[in-house]
Structure 1
Amino acid sequence: MFLPPGFGGSSSAADDEEKRLRTEYTRVEGLVKARIPDAMRSAAEVHVQEVQCGDPSCAPIDCAIIVMFDSGGRGQFGIPCESREVGEEELDEFCPPVDVFTEWYNGNSVEWSPFQDDEYDMNDEQALRFRVGTLVQCRVGADPVTGWANGHITELFYRENNWPPGQMAPYKVALDDGRNIFAPQDIPEVIRARPV
């Protein structure tokens, strides 16, 4: 005779995995919520779930994140990794900037993707606003005033080896503090010319 899981016996591996996932989802929800501006944070609900991707050119598991506001506004974005792999660095790359959260809060339907694969011709440098060596500021934090860091463009049409084919970022940037990052979109909300 045996006791089913939850009745004094040890829990099954499936129960353990479910608990681990719930813990990771809660952790990621907290990280995302911390990036929502203070004025909107208490009105926000964040939900995280891992989803399996059937596209062989992308990560096998994506972390799907839905943000819903009491105002009725909502939006979603994804991070191409498991929830246990999501940290500040991944959120720096894939989390929407403050102005997108604001649009969602106001009930506007705004798509957010850090990559705009079809937007750039990789042979057309004129499609980009900046050139190698340009002094810029990059959005590295949630605050629209203090969340910027100085740097300079080191590469155009940057991509990393583990990215799916055709995926790239318009700029690689060396920040003045020594970090190397990439700008996922060529828009003023993500990267701008450094004020003189």
Structure 2
Amino acid sequence: MSAERKIEAAGETRLPSRLTPVFRVLDWVTSFAYRVSALILLAITALYCMEIALRYFFLSPTLWTRDTITYFLCATLLLAAPQVARDNTHVAINIFVEMMPQRIKGRMETILALLTGLISGGVAWITAQDTIRLFDSNILTLTTIAVPKWWISIFIPIGFALVALQFLSLALDPTRMGHDKRQV
């Protein structure tokens, strides 16, 4: 029986939930966004190297590289954030949670994941409304080469929506948390 088929995740054995296919799609989208983020970071590195070579070896710097790198940084950070949420490797001050008894600790982690998911969802909603406003009004950046602002701001609601969904998935299925927080 498929309901009795067990899933191994983060060293824990659990029965699959009805949401497992949804979680798989969410994880695939998150992994895709993370890979795009890595490619953008590679582009940032290439642009920096190109700008250094053009500026110091050919005495001919570009006008657009600095602005482009700034825009790309926004995209790479917001596309990588859902992966950090999924892996539960974000920076957290969890001394109070760690001091709680084990039976309360799990509930508290679930409540915190739910609250973080709801707050991130609210941020996604608000920034989506602003991005739609920027799209409708066709407001341009005040940079050397003007581009529509929504090209940059679109990554904010996308990133926060994926972060929200990842935290809500952690709240719905706490075994996804893993409990393998990396120590700094």
Structure with higher strand content: 1
Greater Rg by CA: 2
Q: TM-score range by the shorter chain?
A: under 0.3
TM-score normalised over the length of structure 2: 0.26
- The structure whose RCO (Cα within 8 Å, separation 6+) is larger is 2
